[in-house]
Structure 1
Amino acid sequence: MTFAQRDDQAELRVGVFREAVGAVAAELRLVDVEDFIAYIHCRQFANVQDIVNSSIEPFFKPGTLSYGGAAHFELDWDRAPTIILDMEFRHRSVRVVFKLTLSAFQTDVTIEHFSVSRSSGGPDQDTARLIEAIADARTPIAGH
């Protein structure tokens, strides 16, 4: 496998994950950004966790998508604030550690670690396992 093929699989996984957490991101944007900034600035990560958990609950089965315990914000004079949340997805044999970046009109995902405990041997098959795990991890209402 070439680096280009590996990069294609990595980009595909990011796209799949961005799509999967889109509804969660939209739910998180209902929270005032000032609240996120205050909780993060004051290191009140339990409050952040409560917000994230309640935003995940309608869309994913318990224990499959979770807050990673850390967050930070970017706040500058010339642009809208950005909130970055450490997150983890764990279902079936798939584990993904990622950063969920929320800005006013955009959601971004940065995958920091991706693993399949029972790897099929190829990146494209592992991506297929990721897609299957996400589909199975969704709640029945979210997965319609």
Structure 2
Amino acid sequence: MGSHVMLNVRNQHAVEREKILAAGIKEVVAELRLVEVVDYVAFLRLDLLGNIADIVDSSAQLFLRPGTLRFADGGDVQLGWGSVPRIDLDMEFRSEGVTVHFRLELSATMAAVQINYIAFAEPDADPAINTERLASAVEAARIPRSLKA
């Protein structure tokens, strides 16, 4: 029973961290969705990953400090007859001693973040404190509105 409770706590923190990261990159995701799905399909299928990296870099530079968000050279295409196409991109976020490897799922109807791995330069034994550190790192990565103009 005890391990089951621990699993629920861990899942609660994982979901909260995914929400924090998703909220922090929502403008970048909106920019990424301006690219046609067929272009992502072509880039992934033809192994033209540098093109996706360029798109991510140019989209991120509008909202995030340089080097904080990058395409991690991997992805998948979910494309079938009668279904909404979905592009999954492997991404990496780095800021203030926090590194997050995650999958960004994009389709015409939704965008989602799924964290695969997260590391803290100096992790705390309390997962809530680590979640706060992620929130702080995401905030620190964002370009203040006053600098965007």
- Tell me which interval the TM-score lies in, with the shorter structure as reference length: over 0.9
Amino acid at match of 2:112: D
Instruction: List, as ranges, runs of 4+ consecutive aligned residues in structure 1 with deviation greater than 4 Å.
Output: none
Question: Is 2:54 the counterpart of 1:33?
Answer: no
Question: In proportion to residue count, which structure has more helix?
Answer: 2
TM-score by length of 1: 0.94
Alignment partner, residue 73 of structure 1: 77
Q: Which of 102, 105, 108 matches 1:101?
A: 105
RMSD value over aligned CA atoms?
A: 1.7
Q: Deviations over 1:62-83 (max 9, x none)?
A: 0111110112211011112111
Matches within 5 A, 1:4-19: 4-19=8-23
Q: How many residues align?
A: 144
Q: Which of 81, 86, 90 matches 1:82?
A: 86
Whichever of the two has the greater Rg, that structure is 2
Q: Gaps (5+ residues) in structure 1?
A: none
TM-score by length of 2: 0.91
Amino acid at match of 1:100: L
Q: Gaps (5+ residues) in structure 2?
A: none
- SS of the residue corresponding to residue 55 of structure 2 reads helix
